[in-house]
Structure 1
Amino acid sequence: MYKTNSISEKMKQFMIILLPILITQVGLLAMNFFDTVMSGRAGASDLAGVAIGSSLWVPVFTGLTGILMALTPIVAQLIGAKEGNRVSYSVLQGVYLSIFLSILVVILGIFIIHPILNGMNLTDHVSHVAKHYLIGLSIGILPLFVYTALRSFIDALGETKTTMFITLLSLPINVLFNYLLIFGKFGFPKLGGVGAGYASAITYWFIFLIIVFFVHRIQPFSIYRVFHTFYRISFSKWKEIMKIGVPIGLSIFFEVSIFAAVTLLMSSYDTVTIASHQAAINFASLLYMAPLSVSMALTIAVGFEVGAKRAKDAKQYSQLGIVIAVLFALVSAILLYLFNEQIAGLYTNDQAVLQLTGHFLIYAIFFQLSDAIAAPIQGALRGYKDVNITLVMALVSYWVVGLPLGYMLSIHTDLGPFGYWVGLSSGLTCAAVTLYFRLRVLQKKHISRWVDETS
């Protein structure tokens, strides 16, 4: 990144950072998209099993990798402050932490997955698919977590096109092994939805090997010599990363887990409802990649400007990001309204599932705008390393407002399963409003402080 002197320069630099992140995020989600779509072609029970498995895995993955995302503002501020000699130490400690977290997840999974699935109202086949989908996926947890740590380092340098390139390389691998393992082609075992888990694990090992090669051998990453000196584990550095990362991870967990909780609560409905909800959530998640990508780009841009103590520039990037995300949301809402039947048709040929998915997609329109405001603001706040209050706001918005309201509407009104989606929209709106006021307060505080320091 470099210092900019006008809004047009900021727009150009921001889009250079944003577009590769957007393509990367869509690519990563496309793996889950292909898992869902291709499992749906294997049958409604396979789709429902992958839905349940994903709902258990995604909150854990996003929450824990949120901890590793702390490396992005840490490295971005070091670069902005021209302290590049301290980067390799921080990144390597992040890699160590990612390995520890991945081992912890696998150990916990061994003990809790079976009891959780047994406690749900699932058919034997759906439960089998969910369990063995997660077992297959677990083989790729360690490389995925290390990849996330290294990706945070690469993105913090503003070189987001590199992770885009790696992700685009990985997509054909994921689709190929989905095809081979779900449908049992070319002598491979026919595993149904379970095969999607193993296909994802293979893909995670692929992107891990590629990113290690880039960091070690390709400039500008090799300049920082991340793997040239293997420092001893520093628990004090882990504490620094986790002081920023744990609130980030929990904030993301509270948001993502509310969607997972809704899917798990849907298990009280029939298989058609579970499959339809998952298909709609899957596509809504694809659209969410736009505000999420803006959020990640803002963490880099704002972190760089905060490190350089340019409060006005940091504020301008924040405003620019929110406007871009809102424009994305308006386009998404139009697509959902005009083409909801065609979108539902991507997931299934089952007429009952297709019709119900289309109805769920209409409700998805309502939380597009709230996401477009809340996500970018969270990214900007992370650039300031302001994460603790954001954590509290996320907890209240999603779990005190959103989920209870959705549960009440689903049980006590004629909305039924759609009541959960109204609750989701309400929680996201609450988050957007509270986060906006927090950002305004923080920006005024930084502008006043840095004006005093230079006067």
Structure 2
Amino acid sequence: MSSNPSLLPSNTTSPPISRTSNDKTPLLHRYSSIEDQNYYHATISNCHYAGHVVRDVEVQKQETDIQQPLSARAILQELKVLVQISNPVVLTYMLQYSLQTGSVLVVGRLGPEELAASVFAFMFATITGWLLGLGGSTALDTLGSQLWGASTGKINEERRLMMNILFQRACIVLNVCFIPVAILWYFVDPVLRLLGQDALLCQMVQSFLRYSIPGTPAYIGFEITKKYLQTQEVLPHASTLTLLVCSPLNMLITYLFVYEFDLGFIGAPIAASLTHWIMLFVLLGIMYVVGDGKTKQTKWGLLPIHRRAFEQWKPFLALAIPGVLSLGSEYAAFEVITVLVGLLDSSTTMAAQSIIVIADDILCTIPLGISVATTTRVGYWLGRGLPGHAKMASFVSILFALSVGAVAAIVLLVTKDSFGYLFSKDTTVVGLVGKVLPYLVIFQFVDGVAGASGGALRGAGCQHWSASANLIGYYAFALPLGAFLSFGSAHLGLLGLWAALCAGLFAIAAIQTIVLLRMNWQCQVELCTLRFKK
């Protein structure tokens, strides 16, 4: 982006940008002095959320000490905003996960080969392609929230123009990145054969992925549009309404294509591609019909493509790639766990694992929603030039995640002996589920801290820390430990795998929290300012 002093926080006195290429000031440390904290001045301002005017957190007239706690009123207000942002995000992700589940339920009735191929294809598509939308769009989380905070005070049209350039850049970059993935999907059969997969499975997965290619740009576009709205804290329920319409519609379309139109197995990916385009256009339609939730005017101006959308790709990719690695490493780790469960050679164990995974898929949307809300708030405060408030938002979100995790833990523990009956009548399976559920309780409790701390790191543009923590926690710790506990002298089976997952996630949460505790928030503000002066 071109140099533009107006991109600095309009309600602050700009500090001298002292960090140069020779500056050795650490990005992570505990503050020992307060002399650099006297640059930032602000007054209490109004912001809009979901069509209503709400008060920003009390912005102190002068932040003199980042370690000095903000008022209880400020903390409660921040918690309120976090809840407002995270609630629709949680529901959105729950509905989004139901799309794959619905497709698998419909196509699975064709036979066991079709069921296995569809599950494998969805997994492969998620890890290699759809992850570009899920993980790559986290760069827009960071840049969008920081830019929106940095441009506070500018007229809405100017702020929207800068956001639209980021939106267009994200769409172009991530779809260009999908081109080699699309080539892989089209010729994936020999690749899967080299990995030792069954010949029939390879052919079916290749057919599935080929018909999934046309819908993936729409999937990426939907994810980017969702982030575009979230970072501006407008139309929070637009994505939820879109999926409330498209989730049941997806099952209907899949059924029609598979059975009524007699397309069989390939009807599922064709229906999924069509659903992704419907999702994108419904979301855009809601935006243009409802407006931005503030002025009730349709002044989005997403087109035409601005020439600056073709600039600054390297900084964008520097945030997008760690975002992809962070989510991708987690998804891949769970796939490895599934393979290890299969090696236990027990239908009871596999059935219990399937039930636990379904419960985890539902519950994980809660820390995921809190994580997205945390990114938005931390990025916003850094853009405003208020490091103390960014730090406060980080730790308020962690406490919020812990409290929500405690509620989920109580529910699971109370129902652990009967939970399995929701999915199976086999008393052996239900009994094993009851034994594993306490580990899932621990996993979800820690996942809240990991999600909130990871969201705070994304808000600060430090996705690389989350990616590194995930690689260490899952691949250097959880998977080796899980293999040892399950197949070694302990012979704990499924219990050993989930105990190892809990230990690995605890390591991830600890690493990310330590990074936040040692974060030099003042330097993050300066880096944010420099980012938008380029």
TM-score surpassing 0.5?
A: yes
SS at 2:146 equivalent: helix
How much does 1:363 deviate? 3.6
SS at 2:469 equivalent: helix
Deviates more, 1:340-349 or 1:368-377: 340-349
| Aligned length, in residue pairs | 444
Describe the shift of the 1:245–1:448 C-alpha distance in structure 2 as closer, same or farther (beyond 3 A). closer
Q: Does 2:129 match 1:54?
A: no
Q: Does 2:474 match 1:406?
A: no
% identical aligned pairs: 23
The equivalent residue for 1:300 is: 376
Q: Does 2:262 match 1:189?
A: yes
Are the aligned partners of 1:37 and 1:348 in contact in 2 as well (CA < 8 Å)? no
Are the aligned partners of 2:189 and 2:202 in contact in 1 as well (CA < 8 Å)? no
How much does 1:418 deviate? 4.0
The equivalent residue for 1:210 is: 282
How much does 1:80 deviate? 1.0
Q: Deviations over 1:159-210 (max 9, x none)?
A: 222222212221111232344456x3xx243847x65544433321211112
Are the aligned partners of 2:387 and 2:522 in contact in 1 as well (CA < 8 Å)? no
How much does 1:261 deviate? 2.3
Q: Does 2:507 match 1:430?
A: yes
The equivalent residue for 1:91 is: 167
Q: Distance in 2 between matches of 1:352 and 1:38?
A: 28
| TM-score, reference length from structure 1 | 0.85
The equivalent residue for 1:10 is: 78
Give the letter for the 1:201 counterpart.
Answer: S
The equivalent residue for 1:21 is: 89
SS at 1:140 equivalent: helix
SS at 1:414 equivalent: coil
- CA RMSD in angstroms comes to 3.3
SS at 1:415 equivalent: coil
Larger radius of gyration: 2
Are the aligned partners of 2:212 and 2:273 in contact in 1 as well (CA < 8 Å)? yes
Give the letter for the 2:262 counterpart.
Answer: P
Describe the shift of the 1:387–1:269 C-alpha distance in structure 2 as closer, same or farther (beyond 3 A). same
Matches within 5 A, 1:239-250: 239-250=314-325
Q: Give the gaps of 5 or more residues in structure 2.
A: 1-46, 49-55, 59-73, 528-534
How much does 1:138 deviate? 3.7
Q: Deviations over 1:64-118 (max 9, x none)?
A: 2211221122122122111613222111111112322333322122233553266
The equivalent residue for 2:449 is: 373
The equivalent residue for 1:331 is: 407
Describe the shift of the 1:350–1:178 C-alpha distance in structure 2 as closer, same or farther (beyond 3 A). farther
Match of 2:306 among 210, 231, 249: 231
Give the letter for the 2:222 counterpart.
Answer: Y
Describe the shift of the 1:354–1:327 C-alpha distance in structure 2 as closer, same or farther (beyond 3 A). same
Give the letter for the 2:219 counterpart.
Answer: L
Give the letter for the 1:208 counterpart.
Answer: L
Q: Does 2:215 match 1:140?
A: yes
Match of 1:263 among 304, 314, 338: 338
Deviates more, 1:88-97 or 1:101-110: 101-110
Describe the shift of the 1:215–1:369 C-alpha distance in structure 2 as closer, same or farther (beyond 3 A). same
Q: Distance in 2 between matches of 1:50 and 1:419?
A: 29
The equivalent residue for 2:68 is: none
Q: Distance in 1 between matches of 2:391 and 2:136?
A: 25
The equivalent residue for 1:419 is: 496
The equivalent residue for 1:382 is: 458
Q: Distance in 1 between matches of 2:417 and 2:493?
A: 21
Describe the shift of the 1:33–1:98 C-alpha distance in structure 2 as closer, same or farther (beyond 3 A). same
